[in-house]
Each structure stands twice: as C-alpha cells, then as structure tokens.
Amino acid sequence: AQSVTQLDSQVPVFEEAPVELRCNYSSSVSVYLFWYVQYPNQGLQLLLKYLSGSTLVKGINGFEAEFNKSQTSFHLRKPSVHISDTAEYFCAVIPSGGYQKVTFGTGTKLQVIP
Amino acid sequence: DAGVIQSPRHEVTEMGQEVTLRCKPISGHDYLFWYRQTMMRGLELLIYFNNNVPIDDSGMPEDRFSAKMPNASFSTLKIQPSEPRDSAVYFCASSSPGSLGGISYNEQFFGPGTRLTVL
C-alpha cells in the first residue's frame, strides 16, 4: 500500500516570495508522483507529474517539483508566487505498472498575501 | 472537449431522501472514478470503473451507496437513504491510458464536483 504525507495543512506566503510545499510518500514498490491544484469551488487539475528520468519536473504556472528517491520526497516549489496561486495543492502517488488507484495526500492550502 | 460534466452542482436534501449524482466522462476515456472530499477525511476514492465495469468498490462506505455505469458516457452515484454525514463534495474523474517517454500512465481529469448537503 502507498501513503502520502503533506505535513503543512496551510502555508501563508507574501506575493512574489518563493514557496515550497512539502510531500513525502511511502511505498514498497516504485511509484509515479503527481501534484494537483484545486482552486475554490473547482475540481482538481494536474500541475505536474514524475514518471521517470530527470528528477526535476516542470509544470504549469511556473511550478516545479523535485523527486528525491532516498528521502521519498516530492516537494513542490515556485520562485515567486502570485495572488492567483491561492489554492489547495494535493500530492498524489500511484504504483507504476498500470495501476489506477491514486493515493492523495491531505492537501496544503496556499494562501498568498498581497 | 467540454471536460468531465457533473450534475447537479449543488444538492440540498433532507435526511432519509434518495440522492442521485450524475457524471458524463470525457469522450473516449475508458476509466471513471468517483471520489468524496470532506474536511475530516480529505479526498477518498469510492469506486472506479473500466469499460463500464466496476473494478474496485472497496471505498464505498456502506450499502446505502451504489454506483452504476450503464454506458461509456454516463455514470450515477446513488445514496439511499441519505444521512447528514454524507454531506461532502463528490467528484467524478475520467482517464485514458497515455504514454510519455515509453511509459504508460493514466492522467485523471476531474469534474467540478457536486456539493451535497444533507439536513
């Protein structure tokens, strides 16, 4: 079984400041890793994904994440946030090899302060 | 494509009533997922279908919940009878196998959700 831990339930940050949202996972098999964003009153949208290859993954809206296998982490970063980045962010894992059940973290609410 | 469509967007009902939530997946997608999101429990997978067949319903909380997918373009999630603790946002998502760098994976596309309130 897989599990995902997002330790920070809320992260306030000033506009134009950098931000890092933390994600750690646990799995006995290799996994694919995802970050989703949920804007208020909307469904989840895929920000970026790691399947294999380069451990630094770039996504939409200037976000990037780095896969660290030894630390079982997949932290999300953005060098300069905007008000429009205010949303909830979910880290997720799925076992590699064609499985379908995604395990989501509990989410981190990013509040960008003007 | 219009994306995943869910209806209604909001539903308010009284305890004991039957509730039916509807989902139209993206055309061509062969997987469909039902999720429930609450503050207490986060995002939970309830059930998912492949080619209209239920594959895993281990997340369905109890017998009051049932889901069907009569064809590739329509699915329902029914709660009968409903209880206040069923109040949540219910999401439908669909996916289809893709490939990136020779690796097969499925990206799930989520609908806007149905906010259910049971009084």
In this complex, do B43 and A41 lie within 8 Å of one another by their Cβ atoms? no
Neighboring chain B residues of A35 at a CB cutoff of 8 Å: none
Q: What is the pLDDT of residue A97?
A: 73
Neighboring chain B residues of A102 at a CB cutoff of 8 Å: 45, 108
Q: What is the pLDDT of residue B23?
A: 98
Q: What is the pLDDT of residue A105?
A: 93
pLDDT digits (tens, 9 = 90+) for B34-67: 999 998 888 999 999 999 999 999 999 889 999 9
pLDDT digits (tens, 9 = 90+) for B8-36: 999 999 999 999 999 999 998 989 999 99
Planar angle of CA A62, A66, A72, nearest 5 degrees: 145
d(CA B14, nearest CA chain A) in Å:
23
**Chosen from A88, A102, A104, A108 to mutate, greatest number of chain B CBs within 10 A:** A102
Q: What is the CA radius of gyration of chain B?
A: 14
Parts of chain A with a pLDDT under 50: none
In this complex, do B93 and A100 lie within 8 Å of one another by their Cβ atoms? no
Q: What is the pLDDT of residue B85?
A: 95
Contacts of B40-44 spanning 24+ positions with Cβ under 8 A:
B42/A104, B42/A105, B42/A106, B42/A107, B43/A44, B43/A90, B43/A104, B43/A107, B43/B91
Among chain B residues, the shortest Cα distance to A31 is held by B105
In this complex, do B107 and A49 lie within 8 Å of one another by their Cβ atoms? yes
pLDDT digits (tens, 9 = 90+) for B70-84: 999 999 999 999 999
Q: What is the pLDDT of residue B103?
A: 65
pLDDT band at B93; cut points 50, 70, 90: very high
- In our burial notation (b when 16+ CB lie closer than 10 A, e otherwise), range B50-88 reads eeeeeeeeebbeeeebebebeebbebebebeebeeebbb
